[in-house]
Amino acid sequence: MALREATLEEGPLEECLDEINDFVQTLDRYPPRMVALAMRAHMEILLRALLECDMCTRQEIRVFVGELEQAVLEEDDAEVPREFTRERSQRKPETT
């Protein structure tokens, strides 16, 4: 995808990933499946906007989504973060 061009700098990408991770951690009151569905909807909007603004092509989106699917389904040795284990997802949200 055009977003993975060599012009991307490691530092800003890492900073962006850290900020997204920090935000996702604030969503712990929602089950992981709900967060995934919400992120999917957001990703759809973001990819559509990139396409409509000519920042990438349909083929680049197909490749991006295909690589994402492959990474998710073929990484047998990938470690699942503790916050996404069954035990956490079955906890009831705290009330304030």
User: Is the pLDDT confidence value at 96 over 50?
Assistant: no
Contact 3, 56 (CB under 8 A): yes
Domain count, the chain: 1
Q: What is the pLDDT of residues 70-82, one digit of tens each?
A: 999 986 656 666 6
In this structure, the number of other CB atoms found within 10 A of the CB of residue 46 comes to 10
Cβ neighbors of 64 (< 8 A, separation 6 or more) are: 1, 3, 47, 56
The mean per-residue pLDDT over the stretch 15-26 comes to 94
Range of the domain at 33: 14-72
Contact 61, 1 (CB under 8 A): yes
The residue ranking higher by pLDDT, 92 or 15, is 15
Instruction: Please state, in angstroms and rounded to a whole number, the distance separating the CA atoms of residues 37 and 43.
Output: 10
49 in a domain, yes or no? yes
Q: What is the pLDDT of residues 40-92, one digit of tens each?
A: 999 999 999 999 999 999 999 999 999 999 999 986 656 666 655 554 445 55
79 in a domain, yes or no? no
56 in a domain, yes or no? yes
92 in a domain, yes or no? no
